[in-house]
Chains A and B, each alone.
Chain A
Amino acid sequence: MINTYRYGGSDKVEKDGKKSIVQILPSVVLNQMGAFIKVTITHPRIVQENFKEQGKSTPTVSVNALIDTGASGTVITPHVADQLRLIQTGFQKVSSVQDEQQRSVYYGFIIFPWGSGKEIPIVSCPLKNFDCLIGRDVLLHWHFTYNGPDGSVVICD
């Protein structure tokens, strides 16, 4: 499955007392935001079956996820983990430039915009600007092209 994402956006500006909307180039958006896609985070299928047996619906959330070649694993914020009430299965030492911490690991299901998904361990960690990082545990299944001048990315899953 080949998926192309070309970024773009608009911004409000005020000049000489006049408000107007200007378009932002895709290359600028990609450079400023990084490569991101909208994903759905939910419970793995076996957990969903359990919910169904109990007559409950499975919670899901849609979030913007930054594709992060610097992250070895996929990450969500503690807020998302709490919102979904994901099953915690352990801990993981997480190292950044600043420090090293032990963070919670949850059993989660990340679903991509093209419909496929991965049931994986997901670490919970506070993040800036995004609620999810797609790490190399997912990227190892992808062929990923970052086209800076065009402001687009191509993901072959």
Chain B
Amino acid sequence: MVENNLKKNLNFVNENREFLLKEHNNKFIIVFEEKLVGSYDSYERAAEEGVRLYGLDANFLVYHLIAL
């Protein structure tokens, strides 16, 4: 379920990659329910904001737009 929702969010990024790159180059974006929520300078900042907005059970994607 989590994986599926995250994959939908990832598809949203891939489909809109060109536009997102132009607007948010080298930023960490949050995508929730296939919508862009925010853009941040670091992974930590984005993930923290995702938890703040949606709590622990939401499936928000954080995406960086640029021994076995």
Listed in ascending order, the chain A residues whose CB lies under 8 Å from chain B are 44, 46-47, 50-51, 66, 68, 70-71, 75, 87-91, 96, 98, 104-105, 107, 119-121, 125-130, 133
B2-59 residues with Cβ-Cβ distance < 8 A to A are 2-3, 6-7, 10, 43-44, 47-48, 50-52, 55-56, 59
Which of B56, B61, B63 has the most C-beta atoms of chain A within 10 angstroms of its own C-beta?
A: B56
A121 touches B68 (CB 8 A): no
CB contact under 8 A between A46 and B61, given known A90-B10, A119-B44: no
B55 touches A50 (CB 8 A): yes
Selected A-B contacts with CB under 8 Å, 24 pairs: A44-B47, A44-B48, A50-B51, A50-B55, A70-B67, A87-B47, A88-B2, A88-B3, A89-B6, A89-B62, A90-B6, A90-B63, A91-B6, A91-B10, A96-B68, A105-B62, A107-B47, A107-B51, A119-B44, A120-B43, A120-B44, A121-B47, A127-B67, A129-B67
- Whose C-beta in chain A lies nearest to the C-beta of B68? A96
- Contacting residue for B67 out of A66, A104, A107, CB 8 A: A66
Report the Cα distance A70→B59, complex, angstroms: 31
Interface of B, secondary structure class, is: helix
Which of A91, A125, A126, A128 has the most C-beta atoms of chain B within 10 angstroms of its own C-beta?
A: A91
Q: In angstroms, how far is the closest chain B Cβ from the Cβ of A95?
A: 11
- Whose C-beta in chain A lies nearest to the C-beta of B51? A46
The number of residues on chain B lying at the interface, defined by a beta carbon within 8 Å of a beta carbon of chain A, is 21
Report the Cα distance A123→B53, complex, angstroms: 23
Report the Cα distance A147→B53, complex, angstroms: 47
Contacts of A119 in B (CB 8 A): 44, 47-48
Which of B3, B47, B59 has the most C-beta atoms of chain A within 10 angstroms of its own C-beta?
A: B47
Which of A75, A89, A98, A129 has the most C-beta atoms of chain B within 10 angstroms of its own C-beta?
A: A89
Rank and list the top 4 A-B pairs by shortest CB-CB distance, nearest first. Answer: A89-B62, A107-B47, A46-B51, A90-B61
Contacts of B50 in A (CB 8 A): 89, 107
Additional A-B contacts beyond A121-B62, A127-B67, A129-B67 (5; CB < 8 A)? A44-B48, A87-B56, A90-B63, A121-B47, A126-B68
